[in-house]
Amino acid sequence: MDFLNALVVLSNFVLIPAVAYGSQLALGALGVTLIYGILRFSNFAHGDTMAFGTMVVVLVTYLFQSWGLSLGPLPTALLALPFGILGCMVLVLVTDRAVYRFYRQQKAKPVILVIVSMGVMFIMNGLVRFIIGPNDQRFADGERFIISVREFKQMTGLSEGLAIRTTQGITVVTAIIVVALLFWFLNKTRTGKSMRAYSDNEDLALLSGINPERVVLYTWLIVAALATVAGTLYGLDKTFKPFTYFQLLLPIFAAAIVGGLGNPLGAIAGGFVIAFSEVTITYAWKKVLKYLLPENLEPSSLVQLLSTDYKFAVSFAILVVVLLFKPTGLFKGKSV
Amino acid sequence: MKKFLMASAATALMAGGAMADDHAVKLGIILGFTGPIESLTPAMAGGAELAMSEVSESGKLLGGKTVMPVRADSTCIDSGAATAAAERLVTSDGVKGIMGADCSGVTGAILSNVALANGTVMISPSATSPALSAAEDNGLFFRTAPSDARQGQVLADVLMEKGISEVAVTYTNNDYGKGLADSFAAAYAAAGGTVTTTTAHEDGKADYSAEVGALASAGGDALVVAGYVDQGGPGVIRAALDTGAFDTFVLPDGMIGPNLETTFGDEIEGSIGTAPGSDAADASMVVEKVAATGVDASGPYVGESYDAAALIMLAMQAAGSVEPGDYKSKVEMVANAPGEKIYPGELAKGLEILAAGGDIDYVGATAVELIGPGEAAGGYREIEVQGGKLETVKYR
């Protein structure tokens, strides 16, 4: 019984939140990694691209809510998601036409593109705040819980409760579907194959007749979709606030680099590595240990390695360690 | 050149004279109209402006002067912005006294950077940090809200009476939160309670599940959330409810507000809180009149704001001057016994007595009694969430 209780506490406070957070990071990191692999630069504007897509979703959700449209127990935002993706696609394509294409034609060095993307980041950042404001937006509706703490306790009779929020469930399911679609696209379709070819060796790909502008176009479309989905899931699960999306950039980059930049599988693994490290290192283990250890060994302190304020420091530390000792990342990406 | 200088000096003198002759006395109202307590501040400003219009309409202030409020935004959290706003009030608008600021951190900043430098009187309706009691103020700073040293004690008493002897504490990481958490922890430990852990939370985060995880691990019968109702506070409560970590919350004044009812309703049934208030005085007249102007006046500190503004004007009358240097010494005199008791809505009567050379004891909306370094002695309402509503169960 004690063991089960410990497991339930661990799931409630560590496993479930980390899996949901990890999925969100993985989707974000996939976008970063695709751009790095195919367009060959680190896109610092990714967090704000996510914010923009999510903002469109939020606005459309509000519109649907005012019309009385809903998905029953599921959040209305899922219905608004395609519109957000479209809005985000328009944004990134316009940005590409107006900004990135120029530097691509100049064959600018990646480091210049990085700085350019930083400028784009600030503009998008301002745009989002200008349109929707800097405040919290709560747009989650529908059923809040798949299992609430009270129901779980009644069902199992355990003294500890477990809650799974609808948004956490949706996050994981959506992430799995999106990742499956992405891999199918990259591995099975002609366009996907040409994108990988372009990523592996640009000159060879051009020689074999691949149209580079088409590859770039598809990359941006996919990245916009990924960013919007990731942003919307994060916003549903937590809350939408432009500034937090800007802050998300660090864990997302950490995830992409830990996994190996340019490697989609690595991005997913990296997302979960970062999420689990952040959550487990800042979690206070006292309650779990209390159930597992014999009474006389019970810890009197909280058994917390780092205060929760240092959450971002964890991704930073991992980033530095990986860059120092394995610059290509866990999954053999390109070296940074 | 010499002539020109003389001319400009003369013009400046005349301009100065014109200003002094002006019948309107300007008073600054500096509150966080944007920021973490933005839902409370419109009613607070309304309270202060009510007192000012009451005095203006009576026509009894220093031979018929009117009082004009000038609003400024303290942002509640950004000391730089608050200082700039207060500086503008004093130097550009020429206010003769400041009603504010609201949050403890910005109040301290305005006091040391603007009020002290310019010799302006400020009376805060809601800054409650114990640290402000010891701040250097040259007799310029007062507050109609009690120090949190007192609120910590009251909270501890309430909890011990309810038989809650083990709590976890989380506070918003600023002067207000830290001061309150410290004073509560000290009082609670002295009363025999156990604080399992005390952690800070940063306002404005998307998600507080990690913080709540740590608090849940430490355990306790209830969670004390010394935060802000429009900021991280509700996020912490939401995360605690979702994970089933706590279902009873202890909510100090910053968390008591109408948004709490609309966000949580009966989900936090049985939670307890404290907010300044007293049964020796009745703030309902102020609250009703402010509510009649269309703002939501169910939050705290509306009466305190009315009293803060009233005290400034009564002190001016007692000193026979609108200059802060003259009237600062009269604030405590009009607020405390001896003298005729003045209740809300009776400012005209108070002005009359003072004009005749009499003495008043301003009671106002919140039974103002200034003690020690010019702060309210402090009565508190004990609040319980019953049927999804914040109900006052007792006065302390």
Partner residue facing A241 (CB), from B206, B213, B243? B206
Q: Which chain A residue lies closest to B208 (C-alpha atoms)?
A: A238
- Contact call for residues A216 and A39 (beta carbons, < 8 A): yes
Report which of A151, A166, A137 is spatially closest to residue A56, judged by C-alpha positions: A137
Give the residue with greater pLDDT, A324 vs B10: A324
CB B214, CB A302: distance < 8 Å: yes
- As a whole number, mean pLDDT of residues B8-23 equals 49
CA B9 to the chain's CA centroid: 42
Spell out which residues of chain A touch residue B243, defining contact as CB-CB under 8 Å: 12-13, 149, 161, 163
Contact between A83 and A55 under an 8 Å Cβ cutoff? The reply is: no
Candidates B99, B138, B119; CA nearest to B325 is B119
Residue B390's φ and ψ, nearest 5 degrees, are: -85, 110
- pLDDT at res. B230: 82
Structure tokens at B199: 């952690």
CA angle in degrees (0–180, nearest 5) for A303-A309-A310: 80
| B169 strand-pairing partners | B198, B224
Q: What is the pLDDT of residues A73-93, one digit of tens each?
A: 899 999 999 999 999 999 999
Alpha carbon separation from A127 to A45, A233, A271 (Å, rounded): 12, 21, 28
Percent of chain B at pLDDT > 70 equals 94
| pLDDT exceeds 60 at position A336 | no
CB pairs under 8 A between A and B: 74
Give per-residue pLDDT as tens, B41-61. 999 999 999 999 999 999 889
The nearest CA of chain A is from the CA of B197 a distance in Å of 8
The four Cα atoms B377, B175, B237, B278 give a dihedral, to 10 degrees, of: 10
In DSSP notation, B17-66 reads: HHHHH-SEEEEEEEE-SSSTTTTTHHHHHHHHHHHHHHHHHHT-TTTT-E
Whether A237 sits inside 8 A of B244 (CB atoms) is: no
Q: A305 to chain B: nearest residue by CA?
A: B214
Q: What is the pLDDT of residue A257?
A: 92
Contact A286 B218 (CB under 8 A): yes
A239/B207 CB distance under 8 A: yes
CA distance, residue A131 to nearest chain B CA (Å): 18
State CA B94 to chain mean position distance. 23
Q: How far apart are CA A85 and CA B213, in angstroms?
A: 34
ipTM of the modeled complex = 0.81
Cβ–Cβ < 8 Å for B382, B362: no
The predicted model gives A20-46 an average pLDDT of 94
Please give the structure tokens belonging to residue B156: 């501890």
Compute the distance between CA of residue B273 and CA of residue B237 in angstroms, rounded to an integer: 14
pLDDT tens for B368-391 read 888 877 888 777 888 888 888 888
Picking from B42, B101, B105, the residue whose alpha carbon sits closest to that of residue B257 is B42
Q: What is the pLDDT of residue A230?
A: 96
Give pLDDT, residue B147. Answer: 85
Q: Which residues pair with B371 in a beta bridge?
A: B375
Q: Where on the phi/psi map is residue A72: left (φ > 0), alpha (ψ -120 to 50), or beta?
A: left
- The pLDDT of residue B7 is 56
d(CA B290, CA B304) in angstroms, rounded, equals: 13
pLDDT value of position B20: 43
Backbone angles phi, psi at B340, to 5 degrees: -70, 135
> Smallest Cβ distance to A287: which of B202, B207, B217?
B217
Identify the three-state secondary structure at position B207: coil
Q: Is the pLDDT of residue A159 over 90?
A: no
Tens digits of residue pLDDT in B66-91: 999 999 999 998 999 999 999 999 99
Q: Write the pLDDT tens digit of every residue in A282-335.
A: 988 888 888 888 888 778 788 888 888 888 889 889 989 998 998 888 887 665
Per-residue pLDDT tens over the stretch B156-197: 999 999 889 899 999 998 888 888 999 999 999 999 989 998
Closest chain A residue to B198, measured at CA: A302
- Tell me if B71 sits within 8 A of B29, measured CB to CB: yes
- Are B59 and B78 in contact by the 8 Å Cβ rule? The answer is no
The whole-number pLDDT of residue A187 equals: 93
Q: Pick from B105, B215, B226: which is nearest to B156 by CA?
A: B226
What is the number of alpha carbons within 13 Å of residue A156 lying toward its C-beta? 16
Q: Does B230 reach chain A within 8 Å, measured CB to CB?
A: no
Give Cα separations from B211 to B203, B207, B232, B233 (angstroms). 12, 9, 11, 12
Cβ separation of B217 and A161 shorter than 8 Å? Answer: no
Domain B149-277+379-395 coded CATH 3.40.50.2300 = yes
Q: Which residues from chain B sit within 8 angstroms of residue A149, using beta carbons?
A: 242-244
- Whole-model pTM: value is 0.78
Q: Which two tokens stand for residue A195?
A: 């994108």
Q: For position A284, what pLDDT does the model report?
A: 87
Report pLDDT for A281.
92
User: With contact defined as beta carbons under 8 Å apart, do A292 and A2 qualify?
Assistant: yes
SS3 label, residue B256 = coil
* CATH top-level class of B22-148+282-376: alpha beta
Give the per-residue SS3 of chain A. CHHHHHHHHHHHHHHHHHHHHHHHHHHHHHHHHHHHHHHCCCCCCHHHHHHHHHHHHHHHHHHHHHHCCCECCECCHHHHHHHHHHHHHHHHHHHHHHHHHHHHHCCCCHHHHHHHHHHHHHHHHHHHHHHHCCCCECCCCCCCEEECHHHHHHHHCCCCCCCEEHHHHHHHHHHHHHHHHHHHHHHHCHHHHHHHHHHHCHHHHHHCCCCHHHHHHHHHHHHHHHHHHHHHHHHHHCCECHHHHHHHHHHHHHHHHHHCCCCHHHHHHHHHHHHHHHHHHHCCCHHHHHHHCCHHHCCCCCCCCCCHHHHHHHHHHHHHHHHHHCCCCCCCCCCC
Which residues sit opposite A145 in a β-bridge?
A: A165
- What residue ranges of chain B are covered by domains with CATH 3.40.50.2300? 22-148+282-376, 149-277+379-395
Report which of A36, A27, A16 is spatially closest to residue A329, judged by C-alpha positions: A36
Residue carrying structure tokens 């919350």? B249
Mean pLDDT for the stretch of residues A7-15: 91
Per-residue confidence band for B232, with pLDDT thresholds at 50, 70 and 90: confident
Which residues from chain B sit within 8 angstroms of residue A288, using beta carbons? 217
B177 touches chain A (CB under 8 A): no
Given CB atoms, is B244 within the 8 Å cutoff of chain A?
A: yes
Q: What is the DSSP code string of B149-183?
A: HHHHHHHHHHHHHTT--EEEEEEESSHHHHHHHHH
| pLDDT average, residue stretch B215-222 | 89
CA distance B342 to B375: 19
Note whether B76 and B102 are within 8 A (CB). yes
Q: Mean pLDDT of all residues in chain B?
A: 87
Query: For residue B92, which of B193, B187, B201, B19 has the smallest C-alpha distance?
Result: B19
- Yes or no, beta carbons of A239 and B199 under 8 Å apart: no
Buried b (16+ CB within 10 A) or exposed e, A295-327: eeeeeeebebeebbeebeebbeebbeebbeeee
Tens of pLDDT, residue by residue over A200-221, are 888 899 899 999 999 999 999 9
Which tens digits make up the pLDDT trace of B96-155?
999 988 998 999 999 999 999 999 999 999 988 888 888 888 889 999 888 888 888 889
Q: Please say whether the beta carbons of A57 and A232 come within 8 A.
A: yes
pLDDT at B3: 60
Backbone phi and psi for residue A151, each to the nearest 5 degrees, phi listed first: -60, -40
Residue with the larger pLDDT of the pair B355 and B258: B355
Q: Within a 13 Å sphere around the CA of A101, how many CA atoms are in the beta-carbon half? A: 14
Total residues belonging to chain B = 396
For chain A, domains (ranges, CATH) are: 2-325 (1.10.3470)
pLDDT at position B108: 93
Contact B330, B342 (CB under 8 A): no
Structure tokens belonging to residue B128: 């409650």
| Residue B19 in this model has a pLDDT that exceeds 70 | no
Tell me what pLDDT residue A288 has.
87
* Spatial separation of the C-alpha atoms in residues B349 and B355, rounded to whole Å: 10
